[in-house]
Amino acid sequence: MSVAVVVGAGGTGAATATLLAEAGHEVRLVTRRGTGPAHPGITRVAADASDAGRLTELSAGARTLINCAAPPYHRWAAEFPPLAAAVLKAAEAVGADYVLLDNLYGYGQVEQPMTEETPLAPTSRKGAVRARLWNDALAAHRAGRVRVTTVRAGDFVGAGAVSVFTLTVAPKVLAGKPVLAPAALDLPHSWTGTRDAARALVAVSRDDRAWGRVWHAPTNRALSVRELVNRFAAVARVPEPKLRAMPMWLLKAAGLTSPMIRELPEMQYQFRRPFILDSSHTERTFDLEPTPLDDLLRENAGG
């Protein structure tokens, strides 16, 4: 089987590395601290992926580079472009295919469900960063320097997920405390499982139809924050919490003492209007289905 390099061992990166290893591929998992899942098919390497020279050395002989890494949220503008550029450069240098994990920020403030044909029209600083990463990769593809593709996912739930829900809402639900959610409570929103994004990354990396195109990770029917919280409480077998929407002024005030929370207000458009991901094209093309939502939430509940 072939060699794959996975950069980043968050929820999706770890799941991607595991899926590839279980399929018999040799996986080199690159993170700053050499972390990640233990598996005989995975070699964990501590390295700075923004060092293109070092990453090129680590990628020798690889068929595919899959980029699941992201800098700290509040340092995206400064650190994300050079990180992605280094991974792209390494892929070009060793002749490997390049697969980028992306999110929905680049679409900006949409008025209808997002498909793979929705144009990039970022309305935030972080959205502009995400759009730049894909446009740079696509330019390299069109120039014939490397084959590239991307998988875009909604806000994450499931094992290893880091999202507004897992950071600010789920812990309160599990603790039996009232929830002050930074979102409107009754508008539909798409939630993607980390393992489903990983399954899509693996699928597109092995299919010639994928290159030079955008794909959406398999995602369950959109649910409002209220519906998601109540489903989570039922799965965790805890009482439904008292739930209120956090006003914008309070979210901004919380950001005065937290660099990460300071980044949330500009993305609130995603949670104050319907924000729906249509993944039907990817599901049909690669014969994928989203993991049942309760199974994903059960992972966040510790079971």
- The verdict on 14 and 143 lying in the same domain is yes
pLDDT in the model for residue 106: 98
CA dihedral over 287, 217, 170, 244, signed as positive or negative: negative
Q: Are residues 261 and 116 in the same domain?
A: no
Tokens 């070699």, residue located: 43
> Using CA atoms, how far apart are residues 286 and 279, in angstroms rounded to an integer?
11
pTM here is 0.97
Q: How far apart, in whole angstroms, are the C-alpha atoms of residue 261 and residue 179?
A: 16
φ and ψ of 148, to 5 deg = -135, 155
Under the banding of pLDDT at 50, 70 and 90, the label for residue 245 is very high
Each residue of 201-211: pLDDT tens digit? 999 999 999 99
Q: Which of residues 49 and 1 earns the better pLDDT score?
A: 49
pLDDT the model gives residue 21: 98
* Residue 300 placed within a domain: no
Same domain flag for 164 and 197? no
In the predicted model, what is the mean pLDDT of the chain? 97
Q: Residue 189 — very low, low, confident or very high, per pLDDT cuts 50/70/90?
A: very high
Q: Report the C-alpha gap between 123 and 267 in whole angstroms.
A: 9
Average pLDDT of the segment spanning 265-277: 97
Same domain, 32 and 52: yes
Q: Which residues pair with 27 in a beta bridge?
A: 4, 42
Same domain, 283 and 227: no
Tally Cβ neighbours within 10 Å of residue 72. 11
The CATH number of residue 126's host domain is 3.40.50.720
The answer to whether residues 22 and 79 belong to one domain is yes
Q: Is residue 22 within 8 Å of residue 14, measured between CB atoms?
A: no
Mean pLDDT (whole number) for 144-172: 97
Residues 183 and 126 grouped into a single domain: no
Distance (Å, whole) CA 43 – CA 170: 32
| pLDDT value at 66 more than 80 | yes
The two tokens of residue 121 are 């029209």
Shared domain for 246 and 126, answered yes or no, is no
Same domain, 32 and 93: yes
Please tell me the predicted confidence (pLDDT) of residue 84. Answer: 98
Query: In this structure, which amino acid lies at residue 142?
Result: R
Angle at CA of residue 160, ends 156 and 163, nearest 5°: 35
pLDDT in tens, 222-232: 999 999 999 99
Mark whether 177 and 227 lie in a shared domain. Answer: yes
Residue identified by tokens 């929820």 is 11
Task: Tell me what pLDDT residue 146 has.
Answer: 98
Instruction: Establish if 55 belongs to a structural domain.
Output: yes
Residue 297 forms part of a structural domain: no
Question: Are 70 and 168 part of one and the same domain?
Answer: no
Helix (H), strand (E) at residue 132? helix 125-142
Total of domains in the chain: 2
Looking at the domain assignment, is residue 71 inside a domain? yes
pLDDT at 137 over 80: yes
Asked if residues 188 and 275 have their Cβ atoms less than 8 Å apart, the reply is yes
The answer as to whether 301 is a domain residue is no
User: Is residue 188's pLDDT more than 80?
Assistant: yes
pLDDT recorded at residue 1: 75
Residue 87, H or E segment: helix 76-94
Q: Is residue 303 part of a domain?
A: no
Average pLDDT value for residue range 251-277: 94
Lowest mean pLDDT among 122-131, 245-254, 275-284: 245-254
Q: Residue 163: which pLDDT band, with cuts at 50, 70 and 90?
A: very high
The answer to whether residue 265 is domain-embedded is: yes
Residue 295 lies in a domain: no
| Pair 196, 183 in one domain | no
The residue segments making up the domain with residue 81 are 3-156+192-219+278-290
